[in-house]
Structure 1
Amino acid sequence: MAETYDFHTLSHLDFEELVRDLLQAEWKVSLESFGPGRDQGIDIRYLDGPQKVIIQAKHLLGSGYRGLLRAVSAEKAKAIKLAPTRYILATSVSLTHSRKDEIVAAMEGMPLAPNDVLGQEDLNNLIRQHPQIERQHFKLWLSSTTVLDRILHSGVYNRTAAEMDIIREMVPRFVQNRSVVDAERKLAETGALIIAGPPGVGKTTLARILVWLHAEQEWNIFVVDTLEEAFKVAEAGEKRLIFLDDFLGQVRLSADHVRGVDARLPPLISRVAAHENLRFILTTRDYILAQARGLSARLAPGQINAREYVLNVGHYTRAVRARILYNHLYFSALTAMQRDDVLKDDFFLKIIDHKNFNPRIIQEVTKQEYLALTERPIRETITTVLANPEILWEFPYRQHISAEGRMMMLALFLNARSTKPEGLKASYVRVARALGVELRPAEIEPSFRSTFRALEGSVLALMHGLVMFANPALRDFVQSVVVSDKLVPCLLPEMETPSELRELFEVFTAQQPSRADKYQLAEVWTAALDRMQMGGFSDRYDYIELASDLCAELEYEPLQERLGQALEDFETLAMDGDEVTKACSLLEKSFTCTLPWELEHRFRSVTTRAAAQLLIDYADELSFEDVQSLDDTLHSYGNDEKLAMAASHAAIGSLARNIDHEIRDIETVEELDEYEETLINFMQKRRFPTTSVAFDIQYRRERLMEEGRTSRRESYRGVTPDPERGASDGDIISIFRALSRD
């Protein structure tokens, strides 16, 4: 990589392991590694008969050369007792010839030669000679200037750029474990990966590391919020990796959302599988994935799991737990007193072995910003939160965050995953008004700014023009507040954007409201729907989807009248070619929502005709996957099979006529075989002749075979995990002793 490192992203343990691996590669021998503070100052050792080589690793980030000289002098007495035949000192400090001579003089009486004092420059030289070691120690190069420059010039903005900033900050704290290797293998085999596990166990962290690994190797990164957005950027050609976090939602799973995933995910995964330059990473909570599979046949294990897309994470060995805590303490902004409190009486062992150990909890309780909110000693905070993880944010929210701060947190929750500051400000004003706080025009800006500043860093994060929760757990927590504090009736009369109303509706329905609750709020929901339309906040799809949901849930006649009028208006406007997913969503909803028969029939008829016309009008422009998705939805949920078949034949006919264009970007025989199987099955299902298509595909196959392009995909350069260190109490205590010397 031709990069020069200062090793600032490495902890003491990381640095020692790097030194060990470099010297093993250079000497072609196996070295014993003991860990900081263990065995009387030996970090690494090599024994061969009478030969006894001791290697000492000194990683000094802040104290520099003078600190190194003091540390070396302090080690002298212990080193002499070891009686090595050769002594080697490796350090992250930059050294000159004269400085090496000073170090040798300071270690008088030891078998230390100037050439055996390895400074920053020497280690970089060894890294260049052994690139395989550099590859294994990814925390070196993931935060290097070369990687950052490559990402900054790759054209990623807003959501993606914000995500990359988050990843860059978390790299030093990440602990390499088996999940990375397993995830890389699945991605290499299938191109798509669903990372599942309980909340807070590191699903998103693992996904982010994979994203960064791909970015370093010149994959273009696209961070999206919906499967619809993923479809738009899943184009063959350049190397693209798409990342969608919590694709099934964080705490709520609606049948409507499952229907949308059911229609979009399988064809999207098929598209990724067909193109070696596309990769797709999704995360979801394991219990939500299980719910989704129960609601959808296409998401069942026999379907989505057929190619082993799902990787379940969350189990950490004792050694990995120790490293997670160690890294968070090492790179934290904790005071010396706070760190000592964690180290005292080996308190860290209780943290590591606690049944509720969770990377997300460790991340928060070792942050100075969080501890400032709790106003409690660090040991008390850690003990309390581990004993009852549900109160991680309860105490700060109720006791230390101002009323304005709580209003802003509610406003951000109502804006889904992220929003622009102006959007958050507008929601903040509406939430304030709903809770009885009327802000005069002159008060809005100063109130918003001061509240935002108070929460930024601990609760909120602003990255590349987008505001989001600093920790995903906060969104879960605020949702629980809306439920426990019964805030839906309070907030609803002031909300007016699709996001605000959709979030409230999902909370409302998740509580399984009684008939009396529905009746009481039916008029309020109707007024909110009107505000959304009159304010120009929604498009026709947002309006029809919410109106149909409200009609089905509340059985309120004025809402039915509004839906009827919206359908009448919808019939007058044709759909565009980029609205396939919206057409599918509306058609699915028309089939599944429980409306009065006449309204339900009209809804299905309108959406069936619109979807069929879309398939006919844009058959020449739609991708194969979009054609499949729209076709499948028409035949599964539409109410005019004759029209659906006519639309299918029009679309398949277009595919057949343009087959050369469709397959020209397929670069290997394996990809072509997969594409042919899918296409022929599709054509046969709709009783369309396949002879000409099969002939054209065979011609392309012969050309690929002549060129020797048979294999489907190559893995990007993966990383291999270091062997796990010991995990006895003594091993872990030895590791954490190094923290007390920082």
Structure 2
Amino acid sequence: MNDFHDLSPLDFEELVRDLLQAHWSQRLESFGPGRDQGVDVRYMSGPHQIVVQAKHYARSGPAALVRAMRLECPKAIALVPSRYLLATSVSMTPVLKTKIVAAMPEVPLAEVDILGREDINNLLRLHPEVEQRHFKLWMASSAVLERIIHSGVYNRTAAELEIIRGMIPRFVQNQSVADAETLLADTGALIIAGAPGVGKTTLAQILLWRHAEQGWRIFVVDDVEEAMAVASEGERRLIFFDDFLGQVGLSADHVRGLDARLPPLLSRVAAQKDIRFILTTRDYVLAQAKMLSARLSAAKGVRSYVLNVGAYTREAKARILYNHIHFSGLTETQKGAILEDGFYLAMIDHKNFNPRLIEMLTRLEYLALDERPTRELIQHALDNPHELWDRPYRQHMSEDARTVLLAMAINGAFVGITLLKDSFVRVAMALGNTLRPSEIEARFRAAYQEIEGSALSLLNNLVHFTNPGLRDYLRSVIQVDRLMPHIVPCIETASELSECFAIFRAHRGDWKGSTPVWTAALDRVHNGGWAQRFTYLELSLDLCDEFRDQGLIDRMLAALVAIEQQGVDEEEVRDICSLLERSAMTLLPTEVETRVRSVATEAAATMLEKKAMCLPLEDIESMDEALFTHGNDQERAAIAVQSAMWTFTRSVDSDLEAITTLDDLDVFERSVLALMERRGFPADTVKRDIRWRREALEEHEPRHDPEEGYRGGGVTSHRNMSDAEIRSMFGGLRGC
């Protein structure tokens, strides 16, 4: 049963209106919350007037509801309704209904016309189409949460879903959701672009959650290779890649890599209706990438949706601010500073309004970082959004808290709390701070607690930024304050080296650093066992491309020899494919590039010959594509793929037995026959086995409608509200 805690009073009133409209099959008038003169919803037929009052008192409780209805009584009498209904999120009992009726003498309110939580849930069961339109209901329901928890998502994805769960109550459904759904349904792939803070990631997260509720398996990835690895048939999968073109700045190496890897992935997604791919990026970065890459500009199988703050109507902005205030932990004094004298109107109409800024300015923990009066702080942040974090960071945080943030900035989007503490110690020492061993635990804990909630949050033992803009700001701090020469010498982990090198490449004019400094960092990562062999090799290649240093080249070649001698396991398909692609794009001397490509080609070919029995079809496809696109021995590649296909076809019966739907069989058939045709492999036996499996499935399964794979939702129509309408809406926030 839904308790409606994730709905604002405005959401609840609209739910009540839509349920009664569906149940009575009549259009009802609705009025804004706040000073509504006792009418939320009304139906008029000739002289008869039915008045509906909605009271979202799930948190306030029965006693508060009775008091509120006693205060409503004079207004209800003045309306002279022929019938009066009360709809409330409070759970009802016969005694409570009697008390409510007694609180409203002379009002035509019958106990049967008091709809409590149980009654509203019953109406939702009778009218499921209404629940679909009000998706915050089912997105936050316990049944949905249970389904997602047990759906197989894990690690980073589980953390991502929990973050989304926390932001659902504040989300305002708007036209961007319907637009994005339509575009995603067209081709299966969607790039959401927009300015920082406009709501790109939030829109993507809402789409992610809606798919998860409907049984799609969710994968949150950090690179195209990882996306390629999970873009396989057999189940409905949604892949999410946030800021796929980078947050710091556009790297030519990055664009060159995407130029080779993204189009094939998009082609795969377009060919498989059970795979969907959502990417986000900043609009100006996407435009720059398209200028640098003809293939990205002309990529087929993907649609771009540019989300612009100008697309938010005045009502949408008002609802965003309303929800953030309602679900905030702000004190009454802080709320009053926003609500008094219509200051919220100035916030809504401010040229720098965006959802991320509003989220921070209604966060109790953030406001607590600054001693200025609430309204002064908010006004300054709106006027100078680039300074959102500058004053708290430089004037109000302790030195240890700042050090924790710097340590977080060089560790990526998510990091374990123990690894963050280790980074904190090393960064503190590198910046010249005295830190005795006996103090480490207490000082780290105190520093983390100082900024917990305002800057960082802990979820499933993973620390993450509460606001992506803070990560951008800290990267700029590292550059502006010239901290890179101090931080690089303390690097010990692969993630630290990767993040620092990304910052360096985005601002290479500020500090190039001596080659030995980066080489020493790479050695610490290697000697400390902080990097898997392919991760270390990729880092080595990045540094070699940048510095063209023989010492770095020697280290990279030594790592290559280890792979040559030890071979590749079936768990490393993505890694060897990535190495093949990377080797074809290196800027190293020709003889070194040839050596890298030769080793990668032979390692991939050998794995295909020896491990094909353990590889699923999608892995064989990935390696086939990588070998023929990026390898340097086509004859060797052909022999290896032929061998793998012989092995695969001998055991195809077991693969077919694992397929339980006709749709999945269609996908499998297209993939395997396309690969066989491409490589000239005889397919008669496989076609026969597929036909037999199809006949077996057709006896038990009706053909699935291809349009049933994903269920879109409705959208609330938003308009440009007047000041009076917004004042009425916000009037309901006082004392909530």
Q: Normalized against structure 2, the TM-score is what?
A: 0.91
Q: Aligned partner of 1:721: which letter?
A: V
CA contact (8 A) 1:37 1:737 kept: yes
Q: Which amino acid aligns with 2:524?
A: R
Match of 1:83 in 2: 80
Contact 2:192 2:278 (8 Å CA) reproduced:
yes
**1:568–1:93 distance in 2 versus 1, CA, 3 Å:** closer
> What is the rounded CA distance, in whole Å, between the counterparts of 1:94 and 1:235 in structure 2?
46
Equivalenced residue count is 733
Once the two structures are superposed, the pairs formed by residues 155-304 of structure 1 within 5 Å of their partners are: 156-186=153-183, 190-230=187-227, 236-237=233-234, 240-258=237-255, 261=258, 265=262, 279-295=276-292, 299-304=296-301
The alpha-carbon distance between structure 1 residues 674 and 130, as it changes in their structure 2 partners (threshold 3 A), is: closer
Tell me, in whole angstroms, the C-alpha distance in 2 between the residues paired with 1:623 and 1:223.
Answer: 21
With 103-112 and 278-287 compared, the bigger mean Cα shift is at 278-287
Equivalent residue number for residue 513 of structure 1: 509
1:102 aligned residue:
99
Q: Aligned to 2:544, which of 535, 547, 551?
A: 551
* Partner of residue 366, structure 1: 362
Whether the 8 Å CA contact 1:275–1:666 is kept in 2: the answer is: no
In the aligned structure 1, how far is the partner of 2:658 from the partner of 2:465?
Answer: 41
Change beyond 3 A, Cα 1:633–1:121: closer
Q: Which position in structure 1 is the counterpart of 2:722?
A: 728
1:313 pairs with 2:307: yes
- The partner residue of 2:713 within 704, 710, 719 is 719
Q: Deviations over 1:441-463 (max 9, x none)?
A: 21221221111111211111111
Q: CA deviation at 1:699?
A: 6.0
Q: Which amino acid aligns with 2:733?
A: L
1:170 to partner: Cα distance: 1.2
Task: Spell out, residue by residue over 1:74-116, the C-alpha distance to the aligned partner (whole angstroms, 9 max, x if none).
Answer: 2233323322222222222333334333333332232222322
- Contact kept? 2:234, 2:664, Cα under 8 Å: no
1:57 aligned counterpart, secondary structure: strand
8 Å Cα contact 2:19-2:127 kept in structure 1: yes
Read off the aligned partner of 2:581 and give its amino acid letter: E
SS in structure 1 of the partner of residue 414 of structure 2: coil
Q: In structure 2, do the counterparts of structure 1 residues 681 and 91 end up closer, same or farther at CA, with 3 Å as the change threshold?
A: closer
Q: 2:473 aligns with which of 469, 477, 480?
A: 477
CA distance in 1, matches of 2:158, 2:194: 26
Partner of 1:535: 528
TM-score (norm 1): 0.90
- The Cα RMSD (Å) is 3.0
Question: Does 46-55 or 606-615 show the bigger shift?
Answer: 606-615
1:709 partnered with 2:706: no
Asked whether the 8 Å contact 1:268–1:625 carries over to 2, the reply is no
Aligned partner of 1:630 in structure 2 is: 623
Question: Post-superposition shift, 1:247?
Answer: 3.5
Identical positions, percent: 54
1:120 shift after superposition = 2.8
Answer with 235-244 or 168-177: which moved more: 235-244
Secondary structure of the structure 2 residue equivalent to 1:47: strand
Name the amino acid aligned to 1:382: I
Instruction: Within 5 Å, give how 1:279-678 maps onto structure 2.
Output: 279-295=276-292, 299-305=296-302, 308=303, 310-314=304-308, 315-513=311-509, 518=512, 520-655=513-648, 657=650
Question: Aligned-pair distance for 1:362?
Answer: 0.6
Partners of 2:669 and 2:183 in 1: CA distance = 23
**Relative to 1, partners in 2 of residues 1:69 and 1:565: Cα closer, same or farther, differing over 3 Å?**
closer
d(CA) in 2 for partners of 1:676, 1:153 = 30
> Distance between the aligned counterparts of 1:381 and 1:104, measured in 2?
46
CA–CA separation in structure 1 for the residues paired with 2:178 and 2:341: 36
Give the AA of the match of 1:536. Answer: G
Deviation at 1:435, TM superposition (A): 0.7
Alpha carbons of structure 1 residues 711 and 98: separation in structure 2 relative to 1, 3 Å: closer
Q: What letter corresponds to residue 596 of structure 1 in structure 2?
A: P
Distance 1:652 1:84, change over 3 A: same
Deviations 1:323-351 (A, max 9, x none): 11110011111122221221222222222
Q: State the distance in 1 between where 2:509 and 2:14 align.
A: 57
Deviation at 1:292, TM superposition (A): 4.3
Q: Tell me, in whole angstroms, the C-alpha distance in 2 between the residues paired with 1:674 and 1:159.
A: 28
Residue 592 of structure 1 aligns with an amino acid whose one-letter code is M
Secondary structure at the counterpart of residue 612 of structure 2:
coil
Distance in 2 separating the partners of 1:86 and 1:488: 72
Question: Does the 8 Å contact 1:276/1:713 carry over to 2?
Answer: no
List alignment gaps of at least 5 residues for structure 2. Answer: none
Asked whether the 8 Å contact 1:318–1:727 carries over to 2, the reply is yes
Alpha-carbon distance in 2 for matches of 1:383, 1:512: 35
Give CA deviations for 1:668-713 in whole Å, capped at 9, x if unaligned. 7676666655555544444545565556556666666776526446
Distance 1:441 1:346 in 2: 53
